[in-house]
C-alpha cells in the first residue's frame, strides 16, 4: 500500500498487526504464541503484546482455566502446595496485610483451582488441584504507527527509550505501513537502535530493522507473569466489548487476513471511541434479525461475538499444539 491516503486509521492497522502476529509470529521463524492488545503497566501501555509460550506448559495452563488470573488469584494458585498447608506458609509474604490473601484463597477454591479446609487452630489451609505451570517463554511489545513520520517518531522516542531501559519485555518493535519506496521512511527516523521495525502490508510483514534482545530483570518475573495472564484473559478481539455490534450498521470487513470493524452508515473503519453509545448514527438491530435460531440466539451482533470468540480459541489451540500458524 503505497498511497498515504489509503492508509488505515491506527485502530484498524493495530488489528491487522495483531492478526498477522497471531498467524505468523515470529519474523525469524514460527514460534508458539498468542496476542493481546492495549496492555501494560501503570507506567506504560503497549499497543500489541505477543506472549511466546511453551506448548506443553500452555496446555496445562489452559486446563486450569480458560480465564486469566488477576494478581491476587495468581499469587494463591501459583504457590499452592501439593499437600495441605496454612496459606501463610505457602504464599510468599505480600507487601500488604495477610488478611487480604484469604479472600483470594476462597475465590480460588470456588473456581476449583485449589481445595481448602479449616486446619488446626481454625487456620485456613489449602492445597492445589494441579500445579501451576511455567508456561511463559518471552514477552514482546509492539508499537503500531501506520504512518511513521518524523513527528510520530519524536513522540515515540521517549516511550521506546523507556521500554529498552526498563526491559520488561524481551523485545520491542515498531510496526508501520510499508510504502514501497526504495528506502522505507521508518529507517530514516531517530528511533532507539535496540528497537526492531516491521513493515506491514495487507497479508504479511517484513523486518526492516532487527531488534536487540533485552535482558529482563529476574525481579520482574511476577510482573511479567501478571501481564501474560492479562494477555491470556483479554486477547486482542475484546474491542467488541466496548463497541456496538448490535447496531444495524456495524460490520466486520475483511482487511487482508483480519476482520476489522466498519460502519456502513459512515462508510469507514471506526474506532472504539467512535462506535459507542453516543454515536448519532446508532440504530438497533431490527427485532426480526434477533428471532432466528432456536433457542433465540440473537441477531448479527451476537453472531459477531461468537465469531471472534471462536477465532480466539482457535488461536489458543495453535499455540498449544506448537504448530505453524495458518
pLDDT tens track for 167-187 = 999 999 999 998 888 778 788
The answer on 19 and 139 residing in a single domain is: yes
Cα–Cα distance measured from residue 86 to residue 106, given in angstroms and rounded to the nearest whole number: 13
Domain end, chosen from 215, 234, 253, is at: 234
Give the residue, 231 or 242, on which the prediction is more confident: 231
Quote the pLDDT of residue 202. 78
Share of the chain above pLDDT 70, in %: 93
Cα–Cα distance measured from residue 247 to residue 279, given in angstroms and rounded to the nearest whole number: 10
Band (295; pLDDT cuts 50, 70, 90): very low
Is position 287 within any domain? yes
Quote the pLDDT of residue 326. 41
Domain end, chosen from 217, 234, 251, is at: 234
Torsion of CA 84, 88, 89, 90, to 10 degrees: 70
Is position 326 within any domain? no
The answer on 113 and 69 residing in a single domain is: yes
Q: How many domains does the chain have?
A: 3
Band (16; pLDDT cuts 50, 70, 90): very high
Quote the pLDDT of residue 302. 81
Check pLDDT > 80 for residue 145.
yes
The answer on 86 and 222 residing in a single domain is: no
Check pLDDT > 80 for residue 1.
no
Is position 183 within any domain? yes
The answer on 171 and 279 residing in a single domain is: no
Domain of 312, in residue numbers: 238-321
The values of phi and psi at residue 309, to 5°, are -65, -40
Is position 259 within any domain? yes
The answer on 251 and 308 residing in a single domain is: yes
Quote the pLDDT of residue 32. 96
Quote the pLDDT of residue 304. 86
Ranges 132-141, 149-158, 159-168: which has the least confidence: 149-158
Quote the pLDDT of residue 299. 64
Cα–Cα distance measured from residue 189 to residue 126, given in angstroms and rounded to the nearest whole number: 55
Quote the pLDDT of residue 268. 87
pTM, entire model? 0.90
Check pLDDT > 90 for residue 103.
yes
Check pLDDT > 90 for residue 108.
yes
Give per-residue pLDDT as tens, 189-208. 889 999 999 999 877 899 99
Is position 243 within any domain? yes
Q: Left (φ > 0), alpha (ψ -120 to 50) or beta: where does 67 sit?
A: beta
Is position 25 within any domain? yes
Question: Where residue 27 sits, what CATH number does that domain have?
Answer: 3.40.1350
The answer on 220 and 160 residing in a single domain is: yes
The answer on 13 and 159 residing in a single domain is: yes
Check pLDDT > 90 for residue 35.
yes
Element (H, E) at 251: strand 250-255
The answer on 117 and 41 residing in a single domain is: no
Pairing of the two strands 85-86 and 205-209: unpaired
Is position 81 within any domain? yes
Is position 143 within any domain? yes
Write the DSSP assignment of 65-118 as a string of letters.
Answer: -SSPP-HHHHHHHHT--SS-EEHHHHSPPPSS-GGGTHHHHHHHHHTTSEEEEE
Q: What is the mean pLDDT of the chain?
A: 89
Check pLDDT > 70 for residue 292.
no
Quote the pLDDT of residue 294. 44
Cα–Cα distance measured from residue 95 to residue 127, given in angstroms and rounded to the nearest whole number: 22
Region 270-290: mean pLDDT is 82
Burial readout 264-300 (b: 16 or more C-beta within 10 A, e: otherwise): eeeeebbbbebbeeebeebeebeeebbeeeeeeebbb
The answer on 71 and 164 residing in a single domain is: no
The answer to whether 316 and 234 have CB atoms below 8 angstroms apart is: no
Check pLDDT > 90 for residue 322.
no
The answer on 219 and 96 residing in a single domain is: no
Quote the pLDDT of residue 18. 96
Domain end, chosen from 182, 217, 234, is at: 234
The answer on 221 and 152 residing in a single domain is: yes
The answer to whether 283 and 246 have CB atoms below 8 angstroms apart is: no
The answer on 224 and 158 residing in a single domain is: yes
Check pLDDT > 70 for residue 5.
no
Amino acid at each position: 500500500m503505497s498511497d498515504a491516503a489509503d492508509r488505515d486509521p491506527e485502530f484498524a492497522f493495530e488489528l491487522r498487526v495483531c492478526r498477522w502476529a497471531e498467524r505468523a509470529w515470529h519474523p525469524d521463524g514460527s514460534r508458539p504464541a498468542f496476542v493481546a492488545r492495549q496492555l501494560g503497566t501503570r507506567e506504560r501501555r503497549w499497543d500489541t503484546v505477543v506472549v511466546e509460550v511453551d506448548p506443553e506448559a500452555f496446555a496445562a495452563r489452559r486446563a486450569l482455566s480458560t480465564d486469566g488470573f488477576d494478581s491476587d488469584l495468581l499469587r494463591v494458585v501459583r504457590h499452592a502446595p501439593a499437600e495441605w498447608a496454612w496459606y501463610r506458609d505457602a504464599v510468599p509474604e505480600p507487601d500488604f496485610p495477610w488478611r487480604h490473601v484469604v479472600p483470594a484463597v476462597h475465590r480460588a477454591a470456588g473456581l476449583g483451582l485449589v481445595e481448602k479446609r479449616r486446619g488446626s487452630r481454625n487456620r485456613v489451609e489449602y492445597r492445589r488441584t494441579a500445579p501451576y505451570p511455567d508456561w511463559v517463554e518471552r514477552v514482546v511489545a509492539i508499537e503500531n504507527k501506520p504512518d511513521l513520520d518524523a513527528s510520530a517518531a519524536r513522540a515515540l522516542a521517549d516511550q521506546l527509550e523507556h521500554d529498552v531501559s526498563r526491559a520488561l519485555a524481551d523485545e520491542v518493535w515498531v510496526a508501520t505501513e510499508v510504502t514501497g519506496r526504495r528506502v522505507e521512511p521508518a529507517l530514516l527516523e531517530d528511533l532507539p537502535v535496540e528497537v526492531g521495525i516491521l513493515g506491514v502490508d495487507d497479508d504479511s510483514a517484513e523486518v526492516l530493522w532487527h531488534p536487540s534482545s533485552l535482558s529482563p530483570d529476574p525481579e520482574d518475573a511476577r510482573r511479567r507473569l501478571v501481564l501474560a495472564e492479562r494477555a491470556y484473559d483479554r486477547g486482542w478481539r475484546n474491542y467488541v466489548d466496548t463497541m456496538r455490534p448490535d447496531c444495524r450498521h456495524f460490520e466486520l470487513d475483511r482487511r487482508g487476513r483480519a476482520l476489522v470493524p466498519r460502519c456502513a452508515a459512515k462508510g469507514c473503519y471506526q474506532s472504539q471511541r467512535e462506535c459507542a453509545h453516543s454515536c448519532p448514527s446508532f440504530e438497533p438491530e431490527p427485532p426480526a434479525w434477533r428471532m432466528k435460531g432456536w433457542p433465540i440466539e440473537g441477531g448479527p451482533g451476537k453472531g459477531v461475538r461468537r465469531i471472534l470468540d471462536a477465532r480466539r480459541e482457535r488461536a489458543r489451540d495453535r499455540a498449544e499444539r506448537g504448530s505453524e500458524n495458518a
